[in-house]
A and B are shown apart, each in its own frame.
Chain A
Amino acid sequence: MTVETLIYLSFVFGLSILLGVELISKVPSQLHTPLMSGSNAISGITIVGALTSAGVATEHLTSGLLGAAGVFFATVNVVGGYWVTNRMLSMFKK
């Protein structure tokens, strides 16, 4: 990774944190639980990284399996997370 890339990635990092802080401070306390659950589902985005690792040529057995395990756990996180959040939110509908 070049220094240039690192700097650009850090720009992205810094701005995202700022954005996150701004968005969350406005959420009312009754929505905190679905918020935790919903943001937890988003952290399953790791699946994207895991997919490329799991999709390597089969001769790279260990890497592939590590990646596949990552895909499995990230998928549980994603699917379960969105489902649970939806269940909670549908109770708020008047």
Chain B
Amino acid sequence: MNLDVMINLSYLAAALAFAYGIKLLGSASTAVKGNMLSAGAMALSVLATFFDPAIVQFKWIIISMLLGTGLGAYAARTVEMTGMPELVALFNGFGGLASLLVSWAVFHLGVGLDFVTSFTIYCASLIGALTFTGSFIAYAKLAERMDGKPILFKGQHQVNAGLLILTLILGVVFARNPLDSYTTFIFIVILSLVIGVTFVIPIGGADMPVVISFLNSASGLAACFAGFVVKNNVLIVSGSLVGASGMILTLIMCKGMNRTLGNVFFSGLGADVEEEGGGDQGTVKQASPQDAYYVLESAKSLVVVPGYGLAVSQAQHIVRELGDILEENGCDVKYAIHPVAGRMPGHMNVLLAEANVSYDQLATMEDVNPNLEMVDVCMVVGANDVVNTGARDNEKSLLYGMPIIEADKARTIYIFKRSLASGFAGLQNPLFFHDKTYMIFGDAKSSLSNIVAEFKD
């Protein structure tokens, strides 16, 4: 059979397998299979490509694939669960970079560069480049190598808009006469790299989950455009699938924060941080783990609100142990997961699953809020912004409008925190100063261990 036909049939099978793999990824019981299927489809695509007559030698291919596999496997094997979000951001950036490099390689070869092909080269390079630098900034903010506070300067929005328009103009100029426009191309690449940075640095650390989702979508789009460049269906299909899935997830997350996408990217949250009388909000009540033990011992219902601090303290196992003890003690235990808790959608779910928390104990914000008035104890472990009552009550609060877990409605609230420092969004939390709230300062894991020890006596 014709080699070209064989290759394309393999691509077709792979594309369909990717789509089905994503479908399987949507349910806990089939998710592992979905991932395997998708990996298999990737392997098939790569294998089929090896037979492409355009490949005349394998020297560089072998070296790059070996190095890439080594690095990818090493990073994936050694990363802690807390480091997952930033690693995904970094990998995402690499994907974007790859799309840029492919388009560049095709351009450099200088063959078959009609207007449409050249314009898609421009698109793939633009999106690939900004995905790369944008993802890198996201990685830096999450890995805390960079300050989480938004970096703003006057006229920022105009600059960003201007840069985009400039690349569009240059893109058209380039596409009309690619062979004579090498410097134009380089300029486009540089501008695109800069755009990636300027678009992401004004976004505060609290919004990073949205940004990662968005960049995930962008890298898919970049792959799709690269597909138009090399006229490869599997790239186009897979790229659009990833582009679409990233976009939906991004919009879901925005809804979870009750903000629009435009608001996330262009409002510069944290810019005008007025302190709302930051110092004089009253004093906080403190409790020791022993105090908490007495209240928990007689509690009939508990809701745990986990946040990023849970991950940092690696307290998910001890929290589960406490939950088990309490359940044996006749207390109903639930974990309320806010859509943007942690640094990535589903971050808390992954952590709690690692600790073997039972699936049916995980509840959503919507499940939990109506019943909080009847809950005896609410334990907030390493979460801050998602229980910030200012978001509900204070119109001047920068979080205003974001749906929260209404921890203040419970009968007693314990907040496990290292200090009174502000959350990711950089805002004070009125919940801390509430009458029914007790702060338990210190590392969450050790505080919780102390409580567990009390139960064991």
Interface residues of A (CB under 8 A from B): 1, 5-6, 9, 12-13, 16-21, 23-58, 60, 62-94
Chain A residues with Cβ below 8 Å from B46 are: 47-48, 51
CA distance A81 to B234 in the complex (A): 18
Smallest Cβ-Cβ distance to A52: which chain B residue: B54
Distance in Å: Cβ of B17 to nearest Cβ of chain A: 10
Which of A9, A34, A46, A63 contacts B98, CB < 8 Å? Answer: A46
B307 at the interface (CB under 8 A from A): no
Distance in Å: Cβ of B160 to nearest Cβ of chain A: 24
User: Can you list 19 A-B pairs with a CB-CB distance of less than 8 A?
Assistant: A9-B228, A12-B236, A17-B244, A21-B248, A26-B26, A45-B235, A47-B98, A49-B230, A51-B55, A55-B54, A55-B57, A66-B104, A67-B60, A73-B97, A76-B68, A76-B71, A80-B75, A83-B72, A84-B79
Chain A residues with Cβ below 8 Å from B219 are: 40, 43
Chain A residues with Cβ below 8 Å from B212 are: 36
Distance in Å: Cβ of B386 to nearest Cβ of chain A: 14
| B contacts with A: majority SS | helix
A-B contact count (CB 8 A): 365
Q: Is the CB of B55 within 8 A of A42?
A: no
Distance in Å: Cβ of A71 to nearest Cβ of chain B: 4
Q: Is the CB of B216 within 8 A of A36?
A: yes
Give chain B's interface residue range (CB within 8 Å of chain A): 35 or more
Interface residues of B in 228-252 (CB under 8 A from A): 228-249, 252
Instruction: Take A58-B59, A64-B60, A83-B72 as given contacts and tell me if A73 and B98 are in contact as well, using a CB distance cutoff of 8 Å.
Output: yes
Distance in Å: Cβ of A15 to nearest Cβ of chain B: 8
Chain B residues with Cβ below 8 Å from A72 are: 64-65, 67-68
Interface residues of B (CB under 8 A from A): 11, 18-19, 21-23, 25-28, 31-32, 34-36, 38-39, 42, 45-46, 49-50, 52, 54-61, 63-65, 67-69, 71-73, 75-77, 79, 84, 87-88, 91-92, 94-95, 97-99, 101-102, 104-106, 108-109, 114, 116-117, 212-213, 216, 219-220, 222-224, 226-249, 252, 337, 339, 344-347, 349-350, 353-354, 359, 362, 364
9 closest pairs, A vs B, by CB?
Answer: A75-B68, A20-B244, A55-B55, A80-B72, A16-B240, A79-B72, A32-B345, A83-B76, A32-B346
Instruction: Take A34-B31, A36-B216 as given contacts and tell me if A66 and B108 are in contact as well, using a CB distance cutoff of 8 Å.
Output: yes
Q: Is the CB of B95 within 8 A of A44?
A: yes
Instruction: Take A72-B64, A77-B72 as given contacts and tell me if A20 and B56 are in contact as well, using a CB distance cutoff of 8 Å.
Output: no
CA distance A18 to B219 in the complex (A): 18
Q: Is the CB of A79 within 8 A of B234?
A: no
Distance in Å: Cβ of B427 to nearest Cβ of chain A: 24
- Most chain B CB inside 10 Å of its own CB: which residue of A12, A16, A50: A16
Chain A residues with Cβ below 8 Å from B87 are: 80, 84
Distance in Å: Cβ of B99 to nearest Cβ of chain A: 5
Q: Is the CB of A53 within 8 A of B106?
A: yes
Taking A12-B240, A83-B76 as given, write out 15 further A-B residue pairs in contact, using a Cβ cutoff of 8 Å, ordered by the A residue number.
Answer: A26-B26, A30-B353, A35-B22, A42-B42, A42-B238, A47-B45, A53-B105, A69-B64, A76-B72, A77-B98, A80-B72, A80-B75, A89-B31, A91-B353, A93-B32
CA distance A43 to B241 in the complex (A): 9
Q: Is the CB of A16 within 8 A of B84?
A: no
Which of A5, A12, A27, A78 contacts B42, CB < 8 Å? Answer: A78
Q: Is the CB of B94 within 8 A of A74?
A: yes
Q: Is the CB of B22 within 8 A of A34?
A: no
Instruction: Take A24-B249, A42-B42, A74-B98 as given contacts and tell me if A83 and B23 are in contact as well, using a CB distance cutoff of 8 Å.
Output: no
Chain B residues with Cβ below 8 Å from A74 are: 68, 94-95, 98
Smallest Cβ-Cβ distance to A11: which chain B residue: B236
Q: Is the CB of B350 within 8 A of A91?
A: yes
Which of A19, A40, A49, A55 contacts B91, CB < 8 Å? Answer: A40
Chain A residues with Cβ below 8 Å from B32 are: 86, 89-90, 93
